[in-house]
Amino acid sequence: MSVAPIDFLLSRRSVKFVQEPAPSSEELARILQSAMSAPDHGRLQPWRFKLIRGAAVGRLADTVFTLMEEAGSPIPPHKAEITRRWLSKVPLMLAVACKLDHANTKIPEEERMLATGAAVTNILNAVHMLGYAAYWSTGLGTYVDQVTDALGFDSLDYRFMGYIAIGTPIESGQAPERPDYHQFVSEWTGA
C-alpha cells in the first residue's frame, strides 16, 4: 500500500539512536538536494553542511571533548562516555552551519538562519521518506566557537547550528502523540 506524501510529514519523528545502514550515496544525494528547495529570501543559499561519516564520527567526539576542555567547559567523564557510546553506532552526521554574510544588510540575519532551519527540516523529512531516521542536536559543542572553527566553518562568518545524526533506527517505534493544531491557530478577520 502506498503512503500519501502528506502522511510522511504527519508521521515524521526524531530518532537519536541510529545505526548502519546509512542512506546510500544516491539516497544521500537526494536528501541533500531536498535542502536546496527550502524557502530562501534573496536566494542567499546560506546553508552549509559537512558530512561526517564512519571513523570521522568517532574523531568528532575526540575533537569536541578536547576543544570543550580547552574552552573551559569540560564534559564530565560519564557524559562523555554516554555520548561516545551513542556516536559509536551513528553512521552519518551532518554538521549544519549558516553563512552570515555580514555585508548583506538587506536581508536580516535571522532570515538566513530561518532558511537554514527550513533546509534542515527538508532533510529530516527526506530522510524519513526514504525509510531512515534522523535527529537534530545542538549538543557536542555547538555553541563553542573553537568547535565551529574545527569543523571548517570560520566562526566569524558562520553560525553553527548543530548536527543531524542519520541512519536506521536501532529500535522500532512510532511518532509520539502530537498536539491538536487548534490550540496553536486562531483566526484574524480584521473586523
Contacting residues toward ligand FMN, per CB under 6 A: 13-14, 135-139, 162
Q: Is 30 helix (H, G, I), strand (E, B) or coil?
A: helix
Q: Give me the least distance between CB of 146 and ligand FMN, in Å please.
A: 18
Least separation in angstroms between CB 71 and ligand FMN: 18
Beta carbon of residue 188, minimum distance to ligand FMN (angstroms, whole number): 27
Q: Which is nearer to ligand FMN, 24 or 39 (CB)?
A: 39
Q: Toward ligand FMN, which CB reaches closer, 105 or 174? A: 174
| CB 165 within 8 Å of CB 137 | yes
C-alpha pair distances (Å), 114 with each of 105, 120, 127: 16, 10, 20
Distance from C-alpha of 80 to C-alpha of 76, rounded to nearest angstrom: 6
Cα–Cα distance between 93 and 103 in angstroms, integer? Answer: 30
The CA distance from 170 to 120, in Å, is 22
| Minimum CB–partner distance for residue 94 and ligand FMN (Å) | 13
Do residues 170 and 89 make contact, with C-beta atoms less than 8 angstroms apart?
A: yes
Nearest approach in angstroms of CB 186 to ligand FMN is: 23
Nearer Cβ to ligand FMN (33/138): 138
Which one, 22 or 98, has the nearer CB to ligand FMN?
Answer: 98
Provide the minimum distance between the beta carbon of 64 and ligand FMN in the complex, in angstroms, as a whole number. Answer: 13
Return d(Cα 106, Cα 72) in angstroms, integer. 37
Q: Which is nearer to ligand FMN, 9 or 36 (CB)?
A: 9
Q: Which residues on neighbouring strands pair with residue 168, listed in sequence order?
A: 19
Nearer to ligand FMN, 88 or 138 (CB): 138
Q: What grid cell was written down for 26?
A: 544516491
Cα gap 70→178, rounded to integer Å? 41
